[in-house]
Structure 1
Amino acid sequence: MTSPASPLPSSPATASGAPRAGGAGRLGDRTVSRIGYGAMQLHRMAEDRAGALALLRRVVELGIDHIDTAQFYGNGYSNDLIREAIRPQDGVTVVSKVGATPDPGGPAPMRYAQHPAELRADVETNLKSLGLDRIPLVNLRRATTSGFGLSAGPDQIVDLDDQLAEMEALRDEGKIGAIGLSTIGLDDLRRALPVGIACVQNAYSLLAREDEELVRTCTVHGIAWVPYFPLGSAFPGLPKVNEHPVVQDVARSLGATPAQIGLAWLLHHTPGTLLIPGTADVSHLEANVAAGAVTLDAEALAALDAIHTG
């Protein structure tokens, strides 16, 4: 990969004094742990609020100071937990997203909400549920007509320029600090560059690398690359990384788990990558953080890079 537009920050510790999980990375104008935490799975702990709060405290203890959330995660449940568990002195950068809204009575737990007025309303809802006056970074999740269990009808296909104008206005008003984009193509990013984009979130893994040119463009412009489904998923076209025989062989040779190898490869692939793996299990959380200490030697990297991705 090419070098980033400017050097990555090197601050080794979080505000709580813990070494940054995975080392230090850049998210807009902030230094954060390269291994963050994605809050989407917290809804699985709806019957164990105390356990969910303890998990979030463990996130901080492990040196994670970058949490990714959304109001549509558990119909506000994740945001509510974050507001209660994360303290100002923890120095955690909380990132949210707009472009969808909870739909607990619908066929899916969320529905697209792409129009500028809907984006603004969702920012306001996130501010309230997170207990913040300003969200450090908000990602605009663009609608797609198919994929990942949610499809947009014609009424939710909105011009990107109109959406970006609203996001800029929200930034100018101080309601959000920076703008990110999610589920986009290369042309979308190029159109958005003049606005100032802090990160891009797309589905991407060792086995699903169709966005390689998008990754390179982010690297050149100093934009954080934040892949979701970093280990694949059950959705078509997103094979599970830990099931690939080469990944399993490398894991055995290095004394790591296949999942840790998949995460470590992402961190090695480009210095601008930040990870937000989610879990509702503390031991799984600790294993994800440990992936930041896995060193892939030249032989392991060559074997992983050579995997045919179709």
Structure 2
Amino acid sequence: MGEERIRIGGDLPVRRLGYGTAQLTGPGYWGPRGDPRDAVAVLRRAVERGVTLIDTADNYGPSIAEELVARALHPYPEGLLIATKGGVVRTGDQAWHIAGRPEQLRAMCEASLRRLRLDTIGLYQLHRLDPEVPAAEQLGALDELRAQGKIRHIGLDTVTVEQLASALESTGIAAVQNRYNLLDRGSEALLELCEARGIAFLPWFPLGNGSLTSDPVCAEVAAAHGATPGQIALAWLLRRSPVLCPTPGTGSLAHLDENLDSAGVRLTDEDMSCLDALGGVPQVTPRRGRRSAPPV
């Protein structure tokens, strides 16, 4: 893997190409996916390949992904950052409910600490801002958890520029996660704010959720490098901005290796110009209790 790194929160150095755990669970991120020993093997291979950022969430499964992370990697090697999320409750494979009351966030964090077998979660991300709870109360709960030593840094998932700017007025934000990839630039302005403030940006659906395979420009660049479209998409993210930290997920050892090998793809200025010209559709943030595309 390439050696490009970023310091999450200014003090946690990680390699920018990480690994996401959503694909270790069943369809709709609900229930188990196959033999758990396969998931353990993928997680261990990721770390063997040099991954130092593992991104998970309490509602993947729910609980299953966090439990697999602990089963595979605990005791955690020095320098490995486990990032998780709270603030969404699952009641079915297509049912996602935003839950941001302070008592809910505290209970979710405590449960994640137990499942992950951690005393402190390096990066704890609010999976969605709850529109029915004042943002100050949600961030205040996370600040309390940080003051208690239960989390080290706070992150936000799926926010607007205005929401991030407002949050930064009251507390430190180390990372954000929004949908962003080669074909979807709806969070471009948010990326610019992250660059200006030194905030890590973990793009979800970094491989376009399968849409990249049919793009002719991406395919042409991939052919020129003897690479796959997915590798080109990840290489583009790594070069696009020094704060981008893609964490592609997979349950396959072969696909994991393919993703991690993208760090070795060196795109030319001409490649970047062609790829930069591609565009996408802005994201839509799901409302509380709405059945929708799953949070990731």
Instruction: Name the structure 2 match of 1:159.
Output: 134
Quote the residue 2:69 is aligned against.
82
Hey, what does 1:132 align to over in structure 2? 118
Aligned to 2:21, which of 39, 48, 56? 39
Alpha-carbon distance, 1:159 to partner: 2.0
Name structure 2 gaps, 5 residues minimum.
Answer: 27-31, 282-296
TM-score, reference length from structure 2: 0.87
| Corresponding residue number in structure 1 for 2:259 | 288
Shift of 1:206: 1.3
Query: Counterparts of 1:10-89 in structure 2 under 5 Å?
Result: 21=2, 23-28=4-9, 29-44=11-26, 46-86=33-73, 87-89=75-77
Equivalent in the alignment of 1:15: none
Query: d(CA) in 2 for partners of 1:248 and 1:47?
Result: 31
SS of alignment partner, residue 136 of structure 1: strand
- Encode CA deviations 1:7-66: one digit per residue, 9 max, x unaligned: xxxxxxxxxxxxx55622221121001111101111146431222111111011110011
Instruction: Give the superposed CA RMSD.
Output: 1.7
Residue 96 in 1 paired to residue 84 in 2? Answer: yes
Larger mean CA deviation between 297-306 and 109-118 belongs to 109-118
Letter in 2 for 1:100: V
SS of the equivalent of 1:88 reads coil
The runs of at least 4 consecutive aligned structure 1 residues that moved more than 4 Å come to: none
Counterpart-to-counterpart distance in 2, 1:231 and 1:47: 23
Pairing partner for 2:269 from 278, 290, 298:
298
Is residue 185 from structure 1 mapped to residue 173 from structure 2 by the alignment? no
Q: Which whole-Å CA distance do the structure 2 matches of 1:297 and 1:110 have between them? A: 41
In 1, the alpha carbon distance for the partners of 2:208 and 2:129 equals: 20
Report percent identity of matched pairs.
Answer: 40
Q: How many residues in Structure 1 have an aligned counterpart in Structure 2?
A: 273
Pick which of 37-46 and 128-137 moved more.
Answer: 37-46
CA distance in 2, matches of 1:63, 1:307: 31
Contact 1:32 1:93 in 2 (8 A): yes
Deviations 1:218-259 (A, max 9, x none): 00110001100112237xxxxx12321111111111111001
Task: Provide structure 1 residue ranges, at least 5 long, that are not aligned to the other structure.
Answer: 1-19, 145-155, 235-239
Query: What residue number does 1:170 align with?
Result: 145
